[in-house]
Structure 1
Amino acid sequence: MKWSFIIQQKLKASLLLGGIMVAIILGTVLSRNNISGIDKSFSSIYKDRLIPATTIIYLTENLYNKRLSLERYLFSEEHIEHGDILLQLNQYNENLDSLIKAFEKTYLVEEEARILSDFRGRVEAYILLEKQIIDNQRSGNHVLAKEMFEGKGAITFQNSLVLLNELAKIQSEVGNKLMLESKTDFAGFAMLSFLQIGLSVVLGLVILVLIKNSRIINNPDVLKTKGQNFHMN
């Protein structure tokens, strides 16, 4: 009967140890998933939110520079050659095109993609309008050129800025959402880590108990006493 008692104790210990090990392994897997989620969120914040937010600043800067350059060409007493203003505007146009393409390569939510597409259309429309204004100014239609600049040109310019402001707002909203996801993943990771520590402590205690029982079993006198107590029960 004493061997039956020993086998029962070992079976219980094996099941307990096995359960603890499975729990620790599952906790480790879930912790890795949480860490991966945190890393993904922070990478997305940098690549898909911080960089595009900086891009919006550069887009705004180039739009204002285009507007100011054309304004000096039309209203300044300083004589600016036709070729010079075209070179300046072409440089800003190339900058805008490169910035928009870089923006398009980042992760975009549906609304963000739509607004960026509208912005590209506004920029292209404004470039065509600039050419018409410059052509009128060069051909002597100074009044018409200035009216186009202050009228349709101003409206197109303001609409472009409105779209950039909407993009900036989306950047902030999505960035906050990613931060909340990171906090949730971190909270889950902390809870799992605490659970793993607790299970490790339990595992250590179980091992100590097994070592103690093993010493008792290997001691004939103690084992005999245990066997008598077992039969009495």
Structure 2
Amino acid sequence: MKWTYSIEQKIKAALSLGIVFVLVMATNLIDRNHFSELQESFSSVYKDRLLVENYIFKLSGFIHQKHMLLHTSAANKMSSKDQQKINQAIDTLLIDYEKTKYTAKETRLFDEFKTELLDVRELEERFQTDSTSTELRSEIEKKHLQLIALLEGLSNIQMEEGGKLINQSIGVINTSHSISRIEIIILICIGLFAQALVLASKSLKPKKPQNFNLN
């Protein structure tokens, strides 16, 4: 019967609209999640990688200052005032560094760096009272080189982890684009289906009867 067919068509149309509604809601939630992931990723690149790279650069500069101070004309005196100023600046950077997120490898290198730094400070204090000791000077120089090597290792980690975060962001963007394409395809299919329903309903309408009484 025509009326049952009409009800069936209306149910199909309602289901189509329901699918569109669910699809729009689902993609909206997915897009929000992707946006949050991108925000977190970019924030981590800045806070945990770019800023840390800047801390490492400054720490490297202070270690070089220590090294130069050891070989200046006043090296025999090893000014405690200069050493204190450099150590305070290093401590400030270390506090900032500790507020960031580490990888397991980064934690190991950073802990090793802090341990070596304490050893260097003890040697420098001894050198202030025994500035003629070439053996002590040589030991301090070796420690300085170890500290620089550890900082280089930490710097390499920032590059590696920064690259991973960027690749992760690109992956999220590509996934979002793919979902958008699928959404467009589904909407086109539903639109064609709805159009077919409209055309089918028009074909069911009775044609206007002709008036045979006209001359």
- Stretch moving more, 6-15 or 199-208: 199-208
Query: Counterpart in 2 of 1:92?
Result: 86
RMSD between aligned residues: 2.3
Give the superposition deviation at 1:11.
Answer: 1.0
Structure (1 or 2) with the greater helix fraction:
1
Partner of residue 194, structure 1: 181
Q: CA deviation at 1:27?
A: 1.9
Where does structure 1 lack aligned partners over 5 or more consecutive residues? 225-233
Rounded Cα–Cα distance in structure 1 between residues aligned with 2:200 and 2:168: 48
TM-score by length of 1: 0.80
1:228 corresponds in structure 2 to none
Percent identical across equivalent pairs? 27
Aligned twin of 1:26:
26
2:212 corresponds to:
none
| Partner Cα separation in structure 2 for residue 14 and residue 206 of structure 1 | 12
For residues 46-72 of structure 1, give each alpha carbon's deviation from its aligned partner in whole angstroms, at most 9, with x where no partner exists: 110111011110000001111212321
TM-score, reference length from structure 2: 0.86
Which deviations, in whole Å up to 9, do the C-alpha atoms of 1:110-151 show, x marking residues without a partner?
Answer: 1111211110111111011101001113xxxx2x1x3311x2
| SS of 1:158 mapped into structure 2 | helix
Matches within 5 A, 1:27-176: 27-72=27-72, 73-74=74-75, 85-137=79-131, 142=132, 144=133, 146-149=134-137, 151-176=138-163
Contact 1:112 1:170 in 2 (8 A): yes
CA distance in 2, matches of 1:208, 1:86: 86
Q: C-alpha distance in 2, partners of 1:104/1:202?
A: 54
- Corresponding residue SS for 2:130: helix
Q: What secondary structure sits across from 2:116 in the alignment?
A: helix
Aligned length: 208
Residue equivalent to 1:8: 8
Q: Distance in 1 between matches of 2:12 and 2:198?
A: 14
Distance 2:97 2:60 in 1: 13
Unaligned runs of 5+ in 2: 210-215
